[in-house]
Amino acid sequence: MSSILLAIPSKGRLEEATRQVFADLGMPIERPGGARSYLGEMADFPEVTVRFLSASEIARELIAGNIDVGVTGEDLVHEAAERGINQVELAKSLGFGGADVVVGLPESWVDVTAMRDLADVASDYRHRHGQWLRVATKYINLTRKYFAQHGIAEYRIVESMGATEAAPASGAAELIVDITSSGSTLKANQLKVPRDGVILKSEANLVVSRNADWPADRIAVLETFLDKIEKGLGEKITEAL
Amino acid sequence: MPFTASELQQKRQILEQNIKARGELTAPDILQKSDLFFDLAGEDIGRRLLLTTGADGTNYCLRPDFTLPIAAAYVQKHPQFDEKSYGYLGPVFRQRENGPAEFDQAGLEFLAAQDEEAAFQQCLDFAIETAALYGEEKPRLHLGAVDLFEALLDQIDLPDVWRPRVRDRFGHDAAMGRLLDRLFAPEGLQDQPDLPKDFEAAKAKILAMMEEAGLSPYSGRSADEIAERYLEKRQLADAPVPAATVRTLREFLSITGRAHEQVFHITALAQKVGINLDPQLERLSARLTQLKSDAPQIEVEFDAGFSPRLDYYTGHVFELTSNLTGDVLASGGQYDRLLQRLGAQKQVTAIGCAVWVDRLEQGGTR
């Protein structure tokens, strides 16, 4: 019997919310070995093998084609590879894990209210200081793409893996690109978002890998599985693959 | 394949001879420190690099071009700026839409050239001759002149603070278009915080905000520059840049077509606006006359808005495109600010070109 591999987030709110979604759909996911085990079961759908992984690993493995279907954030798919989003099919938004990838600037930059202001500032900064304006972020691909869209070339990215919001105060960068769900972290650090500074509205998604091996028998399993989640979804996605 | 293996080999030999006839053949390391490229060209070029990290954390890349490593090595080796001519032939590495790619480039670099017009002509001759070697007998030449635009920008009626901003967008049509739209019809100040109109008072408010956020007053954007730009935005909203200035810039940037005719258009525009572009126009005319005698078969198009978007370019720039496929076969220009950016104490003449050997070798089948 052929099967497909489903990866879901292994901890925290994302895990809980994902398991809730599948439970509500009548396909509860068990984790027999407890929180330390990375194997799961979907008793009502034995053709689906469940694996627990970190959300960013899920994004990477979906792009590589090592897992077939996964639950992860759209932002993570963009960040795993520059053109990663083209390697997958976003099947369905799951209604949780909502967060925006935004540009964050010091509130004291009273002259900057839009990205076009930032284009001026980047240009001025280079002439005035002889240095590039620095942007701290872990979202390198999204930042480069968005800044290029706005014609901003005079900046450099400083890679930041944590506490990005502190970069302006610590002097590591002049501004940031980061993810925020409520905006409270930005506010606490006296950072603001220019009015067109939302780069991506991200949400947890059910994502199907284009690069996985999809012979007819596995396509059939995928189609049945997706149809259980939403009627008609199976055909729509398998046709797009 | 349009060429057999032995034809390709033979052409390579001729190409190498042609390079050596004009400059000392040089081969910078394939593995380069990536800071060199990021520092000069920013993230736009950075995203094209093939990167790796050393065990000590130093970042390296595979050379994405020859010009920067050759120029950087020259600055180190020749503090007296001796006149040098270099040539190169070998692979460069870049991220492409479809993944990483390796391809061969051939080119020339004339550093601290005494006769800059002759050096530029050498680059054009080399590009045209190499294209012809691979059967591209009548490529089109696309010519631009950064010096013309900079001279225009220096003289038109525009607040000084806008001149570098406009310059930085030269070569990027969309970004330039948006900037000119804004100059023409400045945005209102709707979501702008309401600060005092007095510079010192505005600055004091900004300083207080910076302090509250724990921002250093000594690094990053200073309260001075924020206050200046804030007040400048208010002024622009009250008194926009003269419409005639924006019209002149737009008109200039849209000038494109058969080269000789465009010289007349620019001359007329300069007269109408009352600015002096004579030295730059004379230089352009001389270039066109020279081209007509050296390469009468080549159709020359002048495009006033054409430039690589790199602020170290200073003079004429060109691209040679195939009239079979439309591909760029060679590009080059004058970049007198490059050596200074690499640490030279003064501006030094630099002129060079790069030929896309892979494209030529694939012939019209690519």
Domain map (residue ranges) of chain A: 4-98+203-240, 99-201
Q: Which residue of B has its CA nearest to A170?
A: B215
Looking at the complex, does the CB of residue B44 fall below 8 Å from at least one CB of chain A? Answer: yes
> Taking the CA of residue B235 as centre, how many other CA atoms within 13 Å lie in the half-sphere pointing to its CB?
13
Supply the pLDDT for residue B366: 46
**How far is residue B298's CA from residue B344's CA, in Å, rounded to a whole number?**
37
Cβ atoms of B349 and B156 closer than 8 Å = no
Supply the pLDDT for residue A226: 95
Looking at the complex, does the CB of residue B43 fall below 8 Å from at least one CB of chain A? Answer: yes
DSSP single-letter state for residue A174? S
Is there a contact between A144 and B38 if contact means CB atoms under 8 Å apart?
A: no
Is there a contact between A113 and B161 if contact means CB atoms under 8 Å apart?
A: no
The neighbouring-strand residues paired with B220 are none
- B residues 97-136 lying closer than 8 A (beta carbon) to A: 97
Instruction: Name the residue among B167, B162, B165 with its Cα closest to residue B151.
Output: B167
Domain map (residue ranges) of chain B: 5-29+63-153+252-365, 199-238
pLDDT < 70 regions, chain A: 1
Looking at the complex, does the CB of residue A148 fall below 8 Å from at least one CB of chain B? Answer: yes
Closest Cβ opposite residue A153 in set B42, B205, B221: B42
Chain A positions in Cβ-Cβ contact with residue B212 (cut-off 8 Å): 190
Angle between helices B162-169 and B146-155 (to 10 degrees): 160
Q: What is the mean pLDDT of chain A?
A: 93
Q: What is the CA radius of gyration of chain A?
A: 21
pLDDT tens, residue by residue, B100-120: 899 999 999 999 999 999 999
What does residue B26 show for φ and ψ, rounded to 5 degrees? -135, 150
Q: Which two tokens stand for residue B110?
A: 């004339």
Sign of the C-alpha dihedral, residues A167, A169, A171, A173? positive
Which residue of A111, A116, A152 to mutate against B (max B Cβ within 10 Å)? A111
Looking at the complex, does the CB of residue B238 fall below 8 Å from at least one CB of chain A? Answer: no
Which residue of B221, B307, B341 to mutate against A (max A Cβ within 10 Å)? B221
First CA to last CA distance, chain A: 22
Using alpha carbons only, give the angle A177, B175, B63 rounded to the nearest 5 degrees: 70
Q: A4-98+203-240 has which CATH code?
A: 3.40.190.10
Q: Which residue in the block uniquely carries the two structure tokens 């390579």?
A: B12
Q: Which residue of B has its CA nearest to A172?
A: B220
Instruction: Please tell me the distance in Å from A28's CA to the nearest CA on chain B.
Output: 40
Looking at the complex, does the CB of residue B337 fall below 8 Å from at least one CB of chain A? Answer: no
Instruction: Please tell me the distance in Å from B223's CA to the nearest CA on chain A.
Output: 8
pLDDT tens, residue by residue, A183-209: 899 999 999 999 999 999 999 999 999
Looking at the complex, does the CB of residue A159 fall below 8 Å from at least one CB of chain B? Answer: no
Q: Which residue of B has its CA nearest to A195?
A: B191
Is there a contact between B42 and A132 if contact means CB atoms under 8 Å apart?
A: yes
Q: What is the CA radius of gyration of chain B?
A: 23
Is there a contact between A171 and B220 if contact means CB atoms under 8 Å apart?
A: yes
Helices marked H in chain B — which ranges?
Answer: 5-20, 35-46, 67-77, 116-133, 146-155, 162-169, 173-184, 199-212, 223-238, 243-253, 259-273, 278-294, 338-341, 357-362
First CA to last CA distance, chain B: 9
- B residues 185-214 lying closer than 8 A (beta carbon) to A: 187, 191-193, 195, 202, 205-206, 209-210, 212-214
Q: Which residue of A has its CA nearest to B310?
A: A153
Chain A positions in Cβ-Cβ contact with residue B309 (cut-off 8 Å): 153
- pLDDT tens, position by position, for chain B (366 residues)? 589 999 999 999 999 999 999 999 999 999 999 999 998 888 878 889 999 999 998 999 999 999 999 999 999 999 999 999 999 999 999 998 777 899 999 999 999 999 999 999 999 999 999 999 999 999 999 999 999 999 999 999 998 888 998 999 999 998 899 899 888 887 766 677 788 889 999 999 999 999 999 999 888 999 999 999 999 888 887 777 899 999 999 999 999 999 999 999 999 999 999 999 999 999 999 999 999 999 999 999 999 999 998 889 999 999 999 988 889 999 999 999 999 999 999 999 999 999 999 999 988 654
**How far is residue A153's CA from residue B244's CA, in Å, rounded to a whole number?**
28
Is there a contact between A111 and B226 if contact means CB atoms under 8 Å apart?
A: yes
Q: Would the CATH topology of A4-98+203-240 be identical to that of A99-201?
A: yes
Q: B5-29+63-153+252-365 has which CATH code?
A: 3.30.930.10
Topology, domain A99-201: D-Maltodextrin-Binding Protein; domain 2 (3.40.190)
Q: Which two tokens stand for residue A105?
A: 């600037």
The neighbouring-strand residues paired with B252 are none
Q: Which two tokens stand for residue A98?
A: 């909502």
Q: Which residues of A46-85 are buried (b: 16+ CB within 10 A; e: fewer)?
A: ebbbbbbbbbbbbbbbbbeeebbbbbbbbbbbbbbebebb
